[in-house]
Amino acid sequence: MAYLEIDPAAQTSRENYFLLTGLVVPRPIAWVSSLSENGVRNLAPHSYFNIVSSDPPIVHFTQTGRKDTLTNVETTGEFVINFVSVELAEAMNLTAADFPHDEDEFAWAGLEAAASTRVSPPRVAAVRAAFECRVRTILEMGNGNMVFGDVVAVHVDESVFRDGRVDMARLAAVGRLGGSWYSAVDDPFRLDRPTWANLRRATE
Ligand SMILES: Cc1cc2nc3c(=O)[nH]c(=O)nc-3n(C[C@H](O)[C@H](O)[C@H](O)COP(=O)(O)O)c2cc1C
């Protein structure tokens, strides 16, 4: 290996963005639906997204700077995370356009909405899974606004959730890579985690 050592402090913000988002891959995508103060439906993908806690279930996504999603979740305290499967990738990408605040992005993307049960923003009817969330806290860090939310309801298509486990092939998740690249989870492989006891027994 012949490593380059890069000092982030010597790079521009844009250079660091491409370096970080090219290396932290694949990133899960939270396709966030929210409502404006006037009830306008908003949708936007966020790949700065992950689990914070499973007990209780808490997730976070980060909005860079201030766009409509941040304003909406701050105002209403609610959002839905829609999971993007392969056939929804193009519709998801369309909702990343810089729509004005008062445009209905479900309508623009030609997506049907399904009513949520615990929060006001609807989910995308065609997704195979979604989390209904209530904002726990929002932290500003660097140019990121980290939105933490309690997951108050989970919707998952029956064909995806079997015997208490999510079927990877049926979820057909999409990951964000660097630039305009994406990956599809179509070649999952399995590794069982070793235990110290098994490892020790194998060397005896
Ligand atoms: C796959 C994908 C992932 C994205 N991830 C983020 C992200 O994590 N944070 C962010 O601020 N913008 C992200 N964007 C850009 C936003 O989706 C875009 O700026 C959008 O217009 C914001 O919408 P809003 O104004 O409705 O909030 C992403 C775009 C795409 C296509």
| pLDDT tens-place string over residues 63-75 | 999 999 999 999 9
Q: Please list the ranges in the chain whose pLDDT falls under 50.
A: none
Ligand 1 pocket by Cβ (under 6 Å): 29, 42, 44-48, 62-64, 67-69, 93, 96, 98, 176
Q: To test ligand 1's pocket by mutation, which of 17, 37, 46 has the most ligand atoms within 8 angstroms of CB?
A: 46
Q: Tell me, what's the pLDDT at 203?
A: 87
Q: Which of 92, 42, 48, 104 is nearest to 67 (CA)?
A: 42
Q: Tell me, what's the pLDDT at 126?
A: 98
Q: 19 CA to middle of ligand 1, Å?
A: 18
pTM over 0.75: yes
The protein residue whose alpha carbon is closest to atom 24 in ligand 1 is 68
Q: Ligand 1, closest atom to CA 98?
A: 21
Q: Tell me, what's the pLDDT at 204?
A: 84
Q: Which of 96, 95, 83 is nearest to 173 (CA)?
A: 83
44: how many CB neighbours lie within 10 A of its CB? Answer: 23
Q: Which residues contact 120 (CB under 8 A, 6 or more apart)?
A: 35, 76, 78
Q: 103 CA to middle of ligand 1, Å?
A: 16
Q: Tell me, what's the pLDDT at 19?
A: 98
64: Cα separation from own chain's centroid: 14
Q: 46 CA to middle of ligand 1, Å?
A: 5
Q: Tell me, what's the pLDDT at 157?
A: 97
Q: Tell me, what's the pLDDT at 196?
A: 95
Q: What is the DSSP letter of 11?
A: S
